[in-house]
Structure 1
Amino acid sequence: MPDSGGLSIEVDGLRLRYGTTEVLHGVSFQVRRGEVLALLGPNGAGKTSTIEILEGFRMRSAGRVDVLGVDPALGTEHWRARMGIVLQSWRDHPKWRVRELLAFQGSLYAPYSTPVIRRPWDVDDLLAAVGLAEQADRPIKVLSGGQRRRLDVAIGLVGRPELVFLDEPTTGLDPKARRDFHALVRRIRDEFEATVLITTHDLDEAEKLADRIIILAEGGIVADGTPSQLTRQIAGHDEVSWVHGGARQVRHVADSTAFARGLFARDGNSIRELEIRRATLEDAYLALVRNAEQAAAHPAEVAPEPDGASR
C-alpha cells in the first residue's frame, strides 16, 4: 500500500507554452511514496510533456515541481540516479549478452551508493526478479519481444530507483507477455518498494495496475481518483434493460442490484431477458475527454461536471 508518510512527486500550477500555444495549463497533483499512478489521455493531451518535465528533460514555463525532494530543472546526476526510466521503444545492443549489458549499466550507478541505498542491484538477483535468469548468457538480439521488454525494465531498475517511469510499457507485447509484465509491475511496487508512474493508452491496463489514475485532456487534469472512484463518479449510472409485456424497457440507475430486486418484487414472473450493463472506466474516460474537447471548442455550451467528478 502507498506510504502516506511522504510524497515522491508534487506538482502545483504546472504550465508549458510553445510560443503562443499553451500545452499544459495549471496542472497540479501529488504522488505518494509506493504508489502506482497511471497517467491517461489522448494524443496531444500533455502526458509526454508532463513526464519529460518530471524527469528533468524539459523546462516548464511556470509552476512548481518537486520530484524526490528536488526541482527537476536543478537535478544533479546523483538525483537522476534515484530514478529509473523505461522508454516506449528500445535501442538494440546486438553485440552484448543480457548479463553483460546489465552489469555494465549497473556499474554506472555504483558511485551513487549511499549508506541507506546500495547501488546497483546484484545482476543475477535482478535477472531472477524480472524472469530472465535463463536468458542471462544469451545475446540480446535473440530475445523475444516480451523478454526484451523485461530487459528494459531490468535496466530501469538496476540502479535501485526510488521512482520508476514506465512509458507505454506493453506496446507491442502479446497477451501472455502483457500479463507477465503486469505481474512484474506489481513486484516493482511490492518488493522493490518503488513509486511507479505509468503512461498508457490501455484503460484495462491502467485499471489493473494503478492505485490511482489521472486523466489529462486539452492540457489539464479532468479527473483524479482510483479506478472505481472514476467509474462511479463520472461514468454515471448502470444500464438495466428487460422485456416486460413484449416490450423492451431500459433504465439508467445508480444501484442496478437494488433496482433489479425491486423490479422482480413488483413484476416477478413477467420479467424476461434482464440485462445489466455496469458503468466502466472506459465510459468515464470517453465522457471526460469528450467533455474537455467540447469545452475547449465551445466553452459556453458545456455544463460543468458534477461535484467530485474531478479535482
Structure 2
Amino acid sequence: MNQNPSGPVIQTHQLTRTFTRHGRPVEAVRGLDLQVADGELVAFLGPNGAGKSTTLRMLTTLIAPTSGTAEVAGHDVVREQAAVRRAIGYVGQGNAAGHQQRGRDEVVSQARAHGMRRAEANARADELLAAFDLTEHARRPVSTLSGGQRRRLDVAIGLVHRPRLMFLDEPSTGLDPQNRVNLQEQVVRLNRELGTTVVLTTHYLEEADAIADRVIVIDHGLVIADDTATRLKAGLGDLVSLGFTDEDDARAAAERAARLAGATVERSGRDVAVRVAHGRDLAASLVTDLAASGVTVARIEVAGATLDDVFLDLTGRSLRESNEHQTHDQTHDQAHEQTHDEQTEKDGVAA
C-alpha cells in the first residue's frame, strides 16, 4: 500500500520510453508528467500506437522507462518493482486465464500465488465470481466462455489480492456492444462501490466519455489534453448546422454568425456550420435574428461536441479514422518494441 496515503497514487515526471527502429530512436512516450489521485477513474484515450499501452507497461513495471521517473502507490517503478506489483492489479490485452483450465481454478490459483491459504483462496474466488456474475460458469473451461465472460474473469483474477489500484489495457477490445457495456458497468462499480482507483486505456470514444472521471488524450507519445470529458467538450462548443435555400442567404448567415464571440464559422454552398460555446442556447436567437433581417433558415441542427471533435480540433484528424486506418509503421513499431522488451527481460538487462 501507499506509504503516503495523502499523496497521489500515481506520479510521473518526464516519463519517456524510447526504442530503436531501423537504427533510429523512436519515442513511444515523450516526457509524461502525470498525477492520479486515490479513487479516480482515468481513461487514456488515443489512436492505436499512440503510446497508451506503453505507458501502462511502464507504470506496471513490465518495461523500464528510458528516462524520467514514476511512482505507483508510493513506490518507484524501477527500484521497487515488487512493492508496486503487490499494490496493483493489471489486466492486459490478452486473456489471463489458461484456455483449458476451469475459471474458478484459475482464480483460486492466483489467490494461492498471492500467499492465501486454501480456504481463504476458495472464499475469495467465490466472492469474485459472484461479483462479476460468473458463478454459474465457474467450472467451465475458459475456452468455452464468451468474450465478455472471459474479460470479466480477467478482471476478477486481477482483483484477487484486493489491489488499491487497477490497470486495464483496452479491456473492451473485441467485445460486442452488449458485453462492452456490461464490462463498463462492472468497472464503474469497482471504482464507485469498492473505491478502487482505475486507470484504463481505450480507443473507444464512447467508453472514455461514459465512465471516466478524467480523460487523458495521448497522440504520438504526447499528452495533448487532460480534463474531464465534459470540460473538454464544453471548451470546444456546440455545432450549429444551418441550411438555406440559396447561397446568398447562407453567405449572409455566415457573416452574422461570425459576430458571435468565439465562434468558428464554415460555409459550403447553402450550408453553414457554426462551432460556438453554448450553441444550443444561442441557436434560437440566431435564427430569430436572421429572420428579422430577411434570411430564412430552412434547416437547423444542434449537436454537442464529441471527444472525436476534440481530437480533430487538437490534431487536425479524426480519432475514429486514426483507429480504423492504423499505419503499418505503428504496427511494426509496437511489435518491434515488444520483441525487444521481451528479449531484454529474458536477458536480465534493464531496458
TM-score (normalised: structure 2): 0.73
What is the letter of the counterpart of residue 303 of structure 2? R
- Residue type of the partner of 1:155? I
Q: Which runs of 5+ in 2 are unaligned?
A: 251-269, 318-351
Asked if residue 59 in structure 1 is aligned to residue 64 in structure 2, the reply is: yes
Say yes or no: does 1:104 pair with 2:102: no
User: Equivalents in 2 of 1:83, 1:232: separation in Å?
Assistant: 34
Q: Which residue of 1 aligns with 2:349?
A: none
- Residue number in structure 2 paired with 1:243: 244
1:72 to 74, 77, 80: 77
Q: Would you say the 8 A contact 2:238–2:302 is kept in 1?
A: no
Tell me how far 1:216 sits from its aligned partner. 1.3
User: 1:79 and 1:26 mapped to 2: Cα distance?
Assistant: 21
CA distance in 1, matches of 2:177, 2:221: 32
Q: Which residue of structure 1 lines up, in the alignment, with residue 168 of structure 2?
A: 166
Tell me if the contact between 1:102 and 1:154 (Cα under 8 Å) persists in the aligned partners: yes
Residues 246-299 of structure 1: per-residue CA shift (max 9 Å, x gap): 7645233322233222134432895432211322111112332338xxxxxxxx
Q: Report % sequence identity.
A: 38
Which of 150, 153, 160 aligns to 1:151? It is: 153
Find out whether 1:206 has 2:211 as its counterpart: no
1:217 aligns with 2:219: yes
What's the C-alpha RMSD, in Å, of the aligned pairs?
2.6
Question: Residue 282 of structure 1 aligns to a residue in which SS?
Answer: helix
Distance (Å, rounded) in 1 between the aligned partners of 2:82 and 2:113: 11
C-alpha displacement at 1:202, in angstroms?
0.6
Q: TM-score w.r.t. structure 1 length?
A: 0.82
Match of 2:281 among 246, 258, 266: 258
1:289 corresponding residue in structure 2: 315
Distance 1:119 1:56 in 2: 25
Q: Distance between the aligned counterparts of 2:77 and 2:151, measured in 1?
A: 27
Contact 1:121–1:160 (CA under 8 A) maintained in structure 2: no
Give the secondary-structure state (helix, strand or coil) at the position aligned to 1:27: strand
Paired with 1:272 and 1:21, the residues of 2 have a C-alpha distance of: 52
More helix by share: 2
Structure 1 stretches lacking a partner, 5+ long: 113-117, 292-311
Q: Tell me how many residue pairs correspond in the alignment.
A: 282
| One-letter amino acid of the counterpart of residue 275, structure 1 | E
User: Counterparts of 1:285 and 1:261 in 2: how far apart (Å)?
Assistant: 28
SS in 2 for 1:28: strand
Which structure has the greater CA radius of gyration?
2
Q: Deviations over 1:77-115 (max 9, x none)?
A: 343122111111115524422222111111112369xxx
Matched residue type, 1:13: Q
